[in-house]
Amino acid sequence: MNLTLTVKSNLIKAKALELGLDLCGIAKADFLDEEKDNFLSWLDKEYHGEMGYMANNIEKRLDPRLLVENTKSIVVVGLNYFPKEQQKDPEAPVIAKYAYGKDYHFVLKDRLNKLLEYINTEIGDVTGRAFVDSAPVLEHAWAKKAGLGWIGKNSLLLNRKIGSFLFLGELLIDMELEYENPIYQDFCGGCSKCIRACPTGAITEPYVVNGSKCISYFTIELKGEIPVEVEGQFENRVFGCDICQDVCPWNRMAKGNTVPEFEPNSDLLSLSKEELENIDAHQFGEIFRNSAVKRTKFKGFKRNLDFLSQTKGTNSAENNMNN
C-alpha cells in the first residue's frame, strides 16, 4: 500500500484523536537552531538550579536525530488534564492539578505506544520511541513546531482552544510525513498577568522562567531545605504550582478532561486543611498511590507542609506584633 505523505499524516492524527488525545501535530526532525542560544543562555544563568540533568546531553536536546537514530519526524501530542473538580477546602494546602489523577507519564506513554503500534500495522514499518517528559527532548519547542500552539510568557505551550493545562508527549520515528507550519504569532499580546501573579518572581522577563525560583522547583525538584528567603511566597502551595496558568485568560474556558485515569482520588479532593496538614506516611501512600505526588516521597511532602506551617506561624507572630 503506497500512501502519500498527506494520507499517512492524516491517518496518524485521526488515530491520535481516536485514542483520546486532544491534539496531534507533526514536525520535521531537525536541529533546533532558533532555540539554541536561548537554551544555552538559560543554562549559563543557572536557571535550572539543582536540576543538573538539564545541562546533560545538550546536543541531543537540540537535535533529536542524535537521541533516536534515523529520526525523520516528530509526532507531538497533547492531552488536556484540567480537572472537572478541585480541592473542596479552600484553606487546605494546594496540590497542582496535574497530580490529581494517575501519573501522567504512564497514561500518556501508553497512548503513544498504541499510536506507534498503529503506525506499524496500518501505515508502514517504522522504528521509533515514545517520550513523555523522560528524556532530553525540548517538548515545548517541538509542540510549537508541530503547530499545537505558541509559547506563552510563562514559557508554557498555549493552545487557543484548550489553553495550557496540557501534557505533551512525542514519538520520534524514522518515517517521512507531512509537516505542520509552526505558530509564530504571539496571541498573548500585551497581557502580562502571569508575570505579575508569580509570587516568587520566577518569570524574570516575558518567555523566560528562572526554574530555580519557581514554586514547583522548591516543592518537587529541590531535595534539601527550602530557603528562608521564600517564606510567605508560596500562597499555600504544597506540591507544584498552577498560579501562572490559573490567571491566564486563555484558561478561562478550560474544560474538564475526559480521561478516566485522571479521575482524582475522592479522598484527595475532600481532605480538609487539618487532615492534610496531619497526614501520616500510611495515608500518604494510600491517597497518592498512583499520583505524581509520590515523586516527593512522604519525607519531601512533609517538608513542604512544615514549611507552609512555619511560614504561617511567622506571619501570625508578625501580625500580633503589629497589633
**Residues tagged active-site:** 133
Q: Where are the beta strands (DSSP E) in 111-222?
A: 128-131, 150-151, 157-158, 166-173, 203-205, 208-209
Count of CB atoms situated within 10 Å of the CB of 17: 12
Query: In this structure, what are the phi and psi dihedrals at residue 218, rounded to the nearest 5 degrees?
Result: -65, -40
* Set of cell numbers at residue 173: 520515528
Pairing of strands 128-131, 208-209: unpaired
Contact between residue 266 and residue 100 where contact means Cβ atoms under 8 Å apart: no
CA–CA separation, 255 and 58 (whole Å): 36
Nearest to 29 by CA among 5, 69, 63, 67: 63
